[in-house]
Homo-oligomer: A and B are copies of this chain.
Amino acid sequence: MSAQPEQPGAVQPSKAGSLGPGPQVVAGLEAARRARAWLSRAVEPGHALMYRYVESVGPKEAMRALRGARAPAELQALVGARHDDDRVAADLAAATSIGARLLAPGDPEWPVDSLHAMTVATAMGVEAIAAPLALWVRGNGDLANLTRRAVAVVGARASTSYGAEQAAQLGFDLAERGWTVVSGGAFGIDAAAHRGALSAGVPTIAVLAGGIDRSYPAAHAALFERIAQDGLLISEWPPGCAPYRHRFLIRNRLIAALSAGCVVVEASARSGARHTAGRAQELGRPVMAFPGPVSSAMSVGTHTLLRDTEARLVTGVEHVIEEIGQLGVDLAPLVRGPDTARDALTAVQARTLEALPNRRPVLPEHIARAAGLSVLEVLSALPALETRGFVESIDGAWRLVRLGRPQGL
């Protein structure tokens, strides 16, 4: 897998470049970035098949094969008529002209920790949840930094005044406590959550379903400008791309992945917010929902979540933080090195670690059975264990790291 956790001292591109790699390395990285730019326009993101292909042959070879119409048929079909299109230069120029940039795996700003659950889930065969190949971002925020403590706040576009008020209050309260609000920039709950965070003077992240140069909805142009000042607008699609309906569903997994938990404030019976909540659940993120009057159509979706899923009822910021804290993975301070790491593990992480056999790599299902945990719990624990150097993954299976194994284990 190319999305390796950042190694202190490893050679990596840096924005300032003062202590960065030499010119040849930079040229190679930029060629890979251009290939990812091409891929971001050629294929709709989220396909596990394409993600695995790019990971295995590398972005440059993937682009070459797809452009030459000689990639495996299934992958070639995903690109279709776009294979002889080349708008990379124009797309990168368009991004530069609006102060945007293209992030790729390996960049210091790439949100490795947040996206890891996706990588694992994809390796496990969960469909339609593949990690992004690249991210077009606009704004002065640092993505890796802002997503270190982030919460998704999503909900109905046609929110009630009750819902909008709760979302704004929650956005404000989370921001005040140092959490980044991640949402979709839509009317209703999304906008209220962003505005609540901004009103606390804290940056927020809007994940869009079209190009980051397009204001959708148009009425939110000023809001998006404000978000970009200190926070970020993010999209998997290049500048100019239209926010097609199906792209919102693809986008939703990214809102879930970039956040430690997902709060649904209001949702109708058939709501996109419930879709985002489902993605969060698949990624092992806690899902929370606000209750509301049973007579309100905009609370039907949240009540269904509370009845039919593991979603927890929350009524305000304390409940939300309590819930995210329980997971521990995204909250616990990153402890590197073998000596102190064991103590910092959550109960679930410790049980996951103990369930790993001494030698052979095993699948997460196997670990879950051995540990008496759910597969999702194991999937959420493994990335943290990997980051701490306890375990490593090989083609979706996991094993203990032999060297540097913590003492007393």
Question: What string of 1s and 0s marks CB contacts (under 8 Å) between A281-295 and chain B?
Answer: 000000000111111
Count class of interface residues, chain A: 10 to 19
A294 touches B307 (CB 8 A): no
A291 touches B303 (CB 8 A): yes
- A291-B299, A292-B293, A313-B313 given; 19 more Cβ-contact pairs under 8 Å: A162-B295, A165-B295, A166-B294, A166-B295, A290-B294, A291-B292, A291-B293, A291-B294, A291-B306, A291-B313, A292-B294, A293-B293, A300-B315, A303-B313, A303-B315, A306-B306, A306-B313, A307-B312, A307-B319
Q: State which residues 362-389 of A face B: CB under 8 Å.
A: none
- With CB as the reference atom, state the residue of chain B lying closest to A163: B293
- In the complex, whether A316 has a CB less than 8 A from a CB of chain B is yes
Question: What string of 1s and 0s marks CB contacts (under 8 Å) between A310-322 and chain B?
Answer: 0011011001000
A409 CB to nearest B CB, Å: 32
Q: How far is the CA of A315 from the CA of B291 in the complex (A)?
A: 11
Partner of A162, one of B290, B291, B293: B293
Partner of A292, one of B166, B292, B306: B292
Question: What string of 1s and 0s marks CB contacts (under 8 Å) between A70-112 and chain B?
Answer: 0000000000000000000000000000000000000000000
Copies, count: 2
Can you sample 16 A-B contacts with CB below 8 Å? A162-B293, A162-B295, A166-B294, A290-B294, A291-B292, A291-B293, A291-B294, A291-B299, A292-B293, A293-B293, A294-B315, A306-B306, A306-B313, A307-B313, A307-B319, A313-B313
Q: How far is the CA of A384 from the CA of B240 in the complex (A)?
A: 68
Q: State which residues 312-361 of A face B: CB under 8 Å.
A: 312-313, 315-316, 319
A294 touches B306 (CB 8 A): no
Which chain B residues border A313 with CB–CB below 8 Å? 291, 303, 306-307, 313
Q: How far is the CA of A319 from the CA of B319 in the complex (A)?
A: 25
Which chain B residues border A293 with CB–CB below 8 Å? 162, 291-293
Q: How far is the CA of A343 from the CA of B301 in the complex (A)?
A: 37
Q: How far is the CA of A319 from the CA of B291 in the complex (A)?
A: 16
- With CB as the reference atom, state the residue of chain B lying closest to A290: B294
Q: How far is the CA of A361 from the CA of B295 in the complex (A)?
A: 51
A166, A295, A312: most-surrounded residue (chain B CB, <10 A) = A295
Q: State which residues 236-295 of A face B: CB under 8 Å.
A: 290-295
Q: How far is the CA of A166 from the CA of B299 in the complex (A)?
A: 15
Q: How far is the CA of A165 from the CA of B293 in the complex (A)?
A: 11
Question: What string of 1s and 0s marks CB contacts (under 8 Å) between A154-168 and chain B?
Answer: 000000001001100
Q: How far is the CA of A303 from the CA of B293 in the complex (A)?
A: 12
A287 CB to nearest B CB, Å: 14
A291 CB to nearest B CB, Å: 3
Which chain B residues border A165 with CB–CB below 8 Å? 295
A113 CB to nearest B CB, Å: 29
Q: How far is the CA of A313 from the CA of B293 in the complex (A)?
A: 12
Which chain B residues border A299 with CB–CB below 8 Å? 291
Which chain B residues border A162 with CB–CB below 8 Å? 293, 295
Q: How far is the CA of A166 from the CA of B166 in the complex (A)?
A: 22
A320 CB to nearest B CB, Å: 12
A316 CB to nearest B CB, Å: 7
